[in-house]
Amino acid sequence: MRTAAAEELKIGRIVEVEAYFGESDAAAHAFAGKTARNAVLFGPPGHAYVYFVYGMHHCLNVVTQGKDQPEAVLIRALEPLEGIAAMRRFRRCSRERDLSNGPAKLCQALRIGRSLNGADLSGREIFIESDLETGDGDIGESPRIGVDYAGEAAAWPLRLFLKKNLYVSRGFRGG
């Protein structure tokens, strides 16, 4: 994933994600139907759904399906690859591994905010491409984080991560 926000290129490898289904998934923002907040989820795939939580944090999703199928993938962690000095300016932390090992941390480090809500993910501001260097043999799975309220959906193994990667979010490397 690349972003050019603030005119500084930053690149990271996506190492942890969570899938969210639409109106059948009690953990999904689309569960209660379309609202002003989640409207982007109901739009075309390949666009960014950026939402604001806890009064101070942003999280980035990739819209994955077509109209009226409001499914998305939450980007939960990145391995910083390029533009690390810029990331450190946007997000202060002592250890490099804390730069982007969480969904709100990576938005801070890459300066992703509500201005990118609805943005085309193959655009100039933000760009996602496939990672040819990552084999698929080391992928772990677990329930999603922070969705204990979601009934049986809380147990669905929809969190995927690279087992051996140091940048998977802190405290959740198991599964």
Partner DNA sequence: CCAGGGATCCCCT
Partner DNA sequence: GGGGATCCCTGGC
Name the site residues for DNA (rule: CB under 7 A): 18, 20, 27-30, 32, 35-38, 49, 52-57, 59, 61, 72, 74, 91, 93, 98, 102-105, 144-147, 149, 169, 171
Nearer to DNA, 15 or 74 (CB): 74
Nearer to DNA, 15 or 124 (CB): 15
Min dist. Cβ of residue 155 to DNA (A): 14
Q: Distances in Å between the alpha carbon of 43 and those of 19, 38, 137, 138?
A: 17, 10, 33, 32
Instruction: Tell me the C-alpha distance between 125 and 127, whole Å.
Output: 7
Min dist. Cβ of residue 110 to DNA (A): 12
Nearer to DNA, 11 or 105 (CB): 105
Min dist. Cβ of residue 74 to DNA (A): 3
Residue whose token pair is 């969705």: 147
Nearer to DNA, 132 or 149 (CB): 149
For the stretch 35-49, what's the b/e string if a residue is b when 16 or more beta carbons lie within 10 angstroms of its beta carbon? eeebebbbeeeebbb
Instruction: Tell me the C-alpha distance between 98 and 172, whole Å.
Output: 14
